[in-house]
Structure 1
Amino acid sequence: MATSVELVPFDQHQIATIRRDDGVYVVMKPIAEALGLNWGSQHKRIRTHPVLAKGIVVTTIPSLGGEQETITLSLESFHGWLVTLHPDRTQNAVTRELVVRYQERAFRVLFDHFHGAGQLPAAMPIQSRIAIQNQVLRLTAKLQHTRNRTERRVIHAMIGDLCRDIGMAPPAMNDLGFDAPHPSDAVAPFWAGIAELKRRGVVFNHSRTSGLLAINRTALAEEFKQAGITLKLDTQLGRALRASDPRYIAAKTVNSRLTGGGIHCWVFTDTD
């Protein structure tokens, strides 16, 4: 089978690809490393994924040491692999931004390179049309099951690109599930409750340090109950507090000025 290696420019990067008689394949290890991902872990994820594993082709490419075996994914499977990445799981802002850029644009750049930008859907081989339709179905199913705001927008952008390639109007994002509440919306009732307790003169701050607010979840729940404030102080709210407000410092045990001993608290800067 005839093969050729092509480097496709992408921003300041190059995506190594293999053009074969049966389609286009993306060389995966350099992509994973460029995104700051551990290739060994990604290789295992691809091999064990019931869909992505079907797109694997092991081929040889030239290197300084001679011919070298490498793992590639079909162009459609490469697109699917990008969808499985979760930008929010990395702490590195640069890496997170790079992952999102690849998710939003890499497939489009590769498709245009090999098939021509603006190609009419009718000119597309039936096998490619079917592959894209199947990918749209997989992405819409994923969009219905995730509530992560960033991930939903990336997936919907991918669906839009694919639908345009086959002459379909993409479905509206709100027809395919819903975003989780924004953290700032989720915590607004909490801070309103805190302000109300302060207004009433309720003492609930365990911190001995000026400028800090240390709140014990169990004790605060009781204070809210007595004040007629209905709010569930659960782990989900704790995650929203950490994500939404720079006032959050830590969840830790503090030496309480109220009880005289150690007590576990959410600790914030106190703006009042």
Structure 2
Amino acid sequence: MQTQLISVPFHGDTIVLVGKKNEPYVAMRPIVENMGLGWSAQRIKIAERFDSTVSEIDTVAEDGRVRGMICLPLRKLPAWLYSISPNKVAPELRDKVIQYQADCDDVLWDYWTKGGAIRTEAPNVSQQIALSRHRVALLKELHRTQDNGLRVALHEQLAQISRQLGLSVPALETIGLGTIGASDVVNQLWDALDVLDRKGERYNHAPWMSGMIYLKLPHLAELFKKHNIALHFDSVLRNAMKASKNPRFITRGAKGSSIEGKTIRCWVFEGHAGPNKK
């Protein structure tokens, strides 16, 4: 699963946001160490208290190596922040802890939803460095991103960061490959089904000779993984599937499966997806 890293400047520190499945996560070690706390103890605490939501996300670091980062969903960050009692930390750390508790989650949320936190003063040197890294990360993400909506959002962030640094804003159309249409996106799915056809895999849950296609996405995901097909049912692909004209998208709902012999939740199309229609 591709992730998006955003370096966020915060009162002279740098906090790392990680976008995964369109949800913001926070890399916890930088925050813990920025606050002057011990990572080992806090890592155990985070794992125990947030077991159901904590996630180790593989990210590409600045040196190009892939590393796992312990991350919390941004929505869970305030719960962890307020689990730290300022009265129980060393006096020299107290103001820093209170500062993080006061507005850290708000700043991160602004960066995720608005493309940047509103600041009233000029960034200092450390903030300029963090902003410069953020700008480069945005340029790299724009260069490889093809979804038009995401490109526009990323370009808005890039424009804001560039203005803060006093730099020019490159035109969106000059960065990367640009947009591919919904038909091109959904054709990747039909091409993947052609591969399954050639492998003799049965994926269409519709009745034989019905002229319909019933696709159960978890079943397809298993088949894609089995045959090393790098296709994921993210929001871009799902939206393209809804716009599919040939085969024509009908609905999503409960249908009887000719494969499993029971009612399943599936995507329903009318038309031909390949030689394997059974």
Give the TM-score taking structure 2 as reference length.
Answer: 0.39
Q: Kindly indicate whether structure 1 or structure 2 has the higher relative contact order, using CA contacts under 8 Å at least 6 residues apart.
A: 2
Give the TM-score taking structure 1 as reference length.
Answer: 0.39
* The structure with more radius of gyration: 1
